[in-house]
Amino acid sequence: MTKVTMTVNGKSRSAEAEGRTLLVDWLREGLRLTGTHVGCDTTQCGACIVHLNGEPVKACSVLAQEVDGAEVTTIEGVAGADGTLSTVQQAFQDYHGLQCGFCTPGMVMAATSLLKENPRPSEAEVRHYLEGNICRCTGYHNIVKAVMAASGQDVPAVAAE
């Protein structure tokens, strides 16, 4: 076991990690930040996406010890300190972009990165970018709408099409 320290959601946090401990397990078990989810074991589903030094990564494919000292943002660090939802989070609620909520943290983290890289993506670009995030509930329809809306583009309101 080795003590690993990272800046997580703006605060210095430490917890033990074995050599094989994955970043996602270090966050969930070590720091009890359980908002980051594990939906698969083959780096396919994207439920575990966090921002590592500003980049979206699947936390199931990173060893905690390897990123000692890194800066990490998890879903718990996205909303404002007063609880105000981020633009992406708010759009997911406004456009019913989530149902069971399990894939949602990864979706929000991925969508946030997309809009940083590409502030006004087309529908096709949104769908392509979210290729690494699996949702089983929504058929992606309202997720795509939410991301488009979060980018400031006109999107029909829910239940009004």
Partner 1 sequence: MPKDTGIGASPKRREDVRFLTGKGRYTDDINLMGQAHVVFLRSDVAHGRITSIDTSAAEAMEGVIRVFTGKDFAEVGGIPCGWQITSIDGSVMQEPKHPVLADGKVRHVGDPIAAVVAETRDQAKDACEAIEVDIESLPAVIDMKAAVKPDAPKVHDDLTSNLCYDWGFVQENKDAVDRAISEAAHVTTLELVNNRLIANPMEPRVAVGDYTSHDDHSTLYTTSQNPHVIRLLMGAFVLGIPEHKLRVVAPDVGGGFGTKIFHYAEEAFCTFAAKALERPVKWTSSRSEAFMSDAHGRDHVTKIELALDAEHNFTALRTETYANMGAYLSTFAPSVPTWLHGTLMAGNYKTPLIYVNVKAVFTNTVPVDAYRGAGRPEATFQLERVVDKAARELGVDPVELRRKNFITEFPYATPVAVEYDTGDYNATMDKLLELIDRDGFPARRAESEARGKLRGLGINSYIEACGIAPSHLVGQLGARAGLYESATVRVNATGGLVVMTGSHSHGQGHETSFPQVVADMIGIPEDQIEIVHGDTANTPMGMGTYGSRSLAVGGSAIYRATEKIIAKAKKIAAHLMEASDQDIELKDGRFTVAGTDKSVAWGDVTLAAYVPHNYPLEEIEPGLEETAFYDPNNFTYPSGAYACEVEVDPETGKVEVLAFAAADDFGNVVNPMIVEGQVHGGLAQGIGQALLENCAYDADGQLLSASYMDYAMPRAHDFPMFTVDSSCQTPCTHNPLGVKGCGEAGAIGSPPSVVNAVIDALASGGHEVGHIDMPLTPPRVWHAMHGGTPNQGAAQPAAHSEETTHDRSVAGAATNV
The yes or no reply on residue 159 touching partner 1 (CB under 8 A) is yes
The yes or no reply on residue 39 touching partner 1 (CB under 8 A) is yes
- Candidate residues 8, 105, 115, 121; the one interacting with partner 1 per rule CB under 8 A: 105
Residues 6+ apart with CB under 8 A from 18: 1, 2
Cα gap 139→135, rounded to integer Å: 7
The yes or no reply on residue 76 touching partner 1 (CB under 8 A) is yes
The yes or no reply on residue 63 touching partner 1 (CB under 8 A) is no
Residues 6+ apart with CB under 8 A from 4: 14, 15, 16, 17, 26, 30, 64, 65, 68
Strands 2-8 and 11-17: antiparallel
The yes or no reply on residue 138 touching partner 1 (CB under 8 A) is yes
The yes or no reply on residue 124 touching partner 1 (CB under 8 A) is yes
| In the complex, minimum distance from the CB of residue 146 to partner 1, in angstroms, rounded to a whole number | 10
Q: How many residues bind partner 1 (CB under 8 A)?
A: 62
Handedness of CA 19, 22, 26, 28 (dihedral sign): negative
Cα gap 134→143, rounded to integer Å: 11
Q: DSSP 3-state assignment of 29?
A: helix
The yes or no reply on residue 23 touching partner 1 (CB under 8 A) is no
Q: Name the β-bridge partners of 65.
A: none
| In the complex, minimum distance from the CB of residue 150 to partner 1, in angstroms, rounded to a whole number | 12
The yes or no reply on residue 104 touching partner 1 (CB under 8 A) is yes
Q: Interface with partner 1 by CB under 8 A: which residues?
A: 18, 20, 28-29, 32-42, 44-45, 47, 74-76, 78-79, 83, 85, 89, 92-94, 96, 98-105, 108, 123-124, 126-128, 130-131, 133-144, 158-161
